[in-house]
Amino acid sequence: MTAIKLSHYLGGVAVASLLAISSFSAAPAAAEDKAAILLPGSINDQSWNALGYAILQSLKPHGFATAYSENVSDADEAEALRGYASQGYNIVMGHSGRFVSAMEQVAPDFPKTQFIVVSGNEGMPPNVMSIDWNNAQFGCQIGLLAARMSKTKMVAGVYGLEGVPNITAQAGGFRICATKAGAKVSILYVKDMEDAAAAKEAALSLIAQGADVITGKLNAAEAGLVEAAKEKHVYVTGRGLDQTKMAPDLVLTNIIEDWPAMFGKTADEVKAGKLFGNFVQYGYDTAPVTGASLEYMEGKAFNPAVPASVAKEVADLADQFKSGSLKVEPTRNDARGGT
């Protein structure tokens, strides 16, 4: 299947916003295979929930009719899950780790339904699973790249949701590998993954302390990092090709998440009668589905400013992860705020 990259996800949301939306969308016509997703916010947010909607839509080519619920509160999670499962949905997804508890509560009553947590980190046999990409591997690559491209040997990251496992993995992987490559690392956490102004302010403060390469893992707030990099003319990494367009001379690369490939593989297996009760993490060691890739633009991994020797060194990390000769397992301390 042709992967729908993250940079393409949000572009289709304007069309989606023309649809009639309710808190619980109408169920599709009877179909053998059906998938639904519960979203903590609106599909029109141009960010995290829009991504969830796009993941759902990517299952249509796999033969699934789809439905979704927006703005699902904590108190309504179990009821919404039961609603879809009782209607015969093969796959019921929750868009973030907050849905795990409700799924563990409901799943035993629906043993033929596959419950999936998007970007979670745990499962429960036989039919509650989490899917994510290996943030530590890609964070490590970004750490090495940042250290090699830094003139001051001071690099920095801006993240949200401190303590969330995938944030710990990426921020920690960044620190471990940048430090190993000889750079001093500073990390700041912001309260809101969507607040571009706060992210820009955080990045500017780090730049003022000497950092000349900035990275991070945010949602809509990622644009604030690029704006800060443009203002102070330092290097930055992003999460979508739109960020390359914002600052083509300064964006070194983007971590492009390939959720359709991850979920498409699972959806095909569920259709074939399999159920999963574990945490599935995609990375270089699960090729050909790696969960993400580094892209500066279509068909090109790095900004032309990145020397070939550095590009090779970063690519060599991918080969080491693939072979299993290198493993990075960040701790909360690795991802700590500060230096």
CATH number of the domain that 71 lies in?
3.40.50.2300
Pair (194, 313) in one structural domain: yes
For position 284, what pLDDT does the model report? 98
Pair (303, 168) in one structural domain: yes
pLDDT tens-place string over residues 13-38: 222 322 223 334 444 444 589 999 99
pLDDT tens-place string over residues 98-134: 999 999 999 999 999 999 999 999 999 999 999 999 9
Residue 97 lies in a domain: yes
Q: How many CB atoms lie within 10 A of CB 2?
A: 7
The CA–CA distances, whole Å, from 302 to 7, 141, 319 equal: 16, 12, 17
Residue 146 lies in a domain: yes
Number of domains in the chain: 2
Pair (203, 304) in one structural domain: yes
Tell me the mean pLDDT in the region 298-321: 98
For position 20, what pLDDT does the model report? 29
Nearest 5°: CA angle at 252, between 302 and 242?
95
pLDDT tens-place string over residues 139-192: 999 999 999 999 999 999 999 999 999 999 999 999 999 999 999 999 999 999
CB 170 within 8 A of CB 217: yes
For position 10, what pLDDT does the model report? 39
Calpha distance 130→94 (Å, rounded): 9
Domain span at 105? 6-133+259-282
For position 32, what pLDDT does the model report? 81
Which DSSP symbol is given to 90? S
The answer to which of 21-35, 90-104, 290-304 has the lowest mean pLDDT is 21-35
What does DSSP say about strands 292-295 and 251-257: parallel, antiparallel, or unpaired? antiparallel
Would the pTM count as exceeding 0.85?
yes
Average pLDDT of every residue of the chain: 91
Percent of residues, the chain, with pLDDT higher than 70: 91
